[in-house]
Every structure is written in C-alpha cells, then in structure tokens.
Amino acid sequence: MSNVCCVPEDELVQPAALAAPLPPLVAAPPPSTEVEVRLGILTVSDRASRGVYADGSGPEVARIMQDFAAKGDSRWRLTLARKAVVGDEDADIRRQLLEWSDAPVDGVPAPCNLILTSGGTGLAPRDITPEVTIALLDRPTPGLPELMLRESMRLEPLAALSRAAAGIRQGTLIVNLPGRPKAVREILTVLMPLLGHALLELSGPATVSG
C-alpha cells in the first residue's frame, strides 16, 4: 500500500506517466478509389490583401497539395479551382466561401469540394476566420481541428492559441489553417492523408434514416 490511505501503489498516477509523449498517429491508408479534389485556397490577411507583402501561405498550400497529388498512392485528381486573398472582413470571407461552396444551379456541382483557408485563426481582434466559417457550416467536423491542434502542439506550444474550425457546407469541406507557411506545412502533413477519405464520403449517396 502507498502512503495514501488505502490506495495501492500501482493505482496511483505517476508524474512520469503524465509527462509521457503522445503516441504517434497510425497512418491512414490511401482511398479505395480515385477521388476528385476541386480545391479552393483562401488567404485571409489584411496586409497581404493590400499588397503590403506577398501572400506566402496560399502558394505554399497549393505547392504542398500539388506535390501530394503527384504521388502515385495519393489517388487524388486535383484541380486548383479557386484562389483568392481577402482582408480580415466578415463580408469578404463570407462571399468567397459561399461562392465556392454553393452549387450555381441544381445538378451542377459547386466550384470547390474542398476549401482551405489560411490566416485569421488567432486571438487578435481582427482574427475572425473561424467565426465566419462556423456561421456557414451545415455540420462541423470537430475531429479535424482536434487532430490539427494535437499534432501542432508537438512542435509549437503556442499552437494552443489557434481557434481553427472545420466542417461541411453542402458538399464542400472547409478547413481553417494558420497563416504562417511553416505551420501550414506541419498541419497539412497530418491532414492530407485524411482528405481523400473525407471527400469520398461527401460524394457518396445520402443515407436515409428510417
């Protein structure tokens, strides 16, 4: 028995166990079939939209996604369908997300089935990308932000300050990424193996409950 009354020593939580690193993720297998990826990349940045500096994160998202699609086992058919840079303004972010995720007419697919935003996920007063995204979603996908946060914090403790959101609007998956190219690379490394599976599920037949 331990010094704590009536508690066996092997049932006590040891400090070392609390500090143990998280186990590595099990790699997701490639999708079972080819998947069409119609990608939209939306950079949200006041300064980049005004031309104060060049957008670094949007091109980095495109490069990483294209490199992954080029791998033989990705099974992606990737098209960069839309890209834009907007300021941290509700109306501008909302307009692009709606235009890219909503079908123009019945029977015609939306321009994008995957939208990756970059920037505006922190704590600054003008960081509003998650709020705008959440307001437009039909269904959230909470597992994706949880995964992104968990893996980011392995490399950067300040990643805990991110408020990134993710979810589905009609048939489009929308995911918020941070604004720094380095953070974009780290998160997409974890996220990309799952995206094909997500898009296949979104494109499948609707399930009717009875």
CATH code of the domain covering residue 80: 3.40.980.10
CA dist list (Å): 100 to 106, 134, 193 = 15, 16, 23
Check: CB of residue 117 under 8 Å from CB of residue 133: yes
Residue-wise pLDDT tens digits, 6-53 = 545 555 444 444 445 656 667 788 888 999 999 999 999 999 999 999
Gap between the Cα atoms of 110 and 102, Å rounded: 5
Flag whether 107 is in a domain: yes
Element (H, E) at 148: helix 143-153
Please state the pTM of the whole predicted model: 0.86
Domain count for the chain: 1
Beta carbons of 29 and 200 less than 8 angstroms apart: no
Instruction: Give the residue numbers spanning the domain of 160.
Output: 32-202
- Is residue 172 in a domain? yes
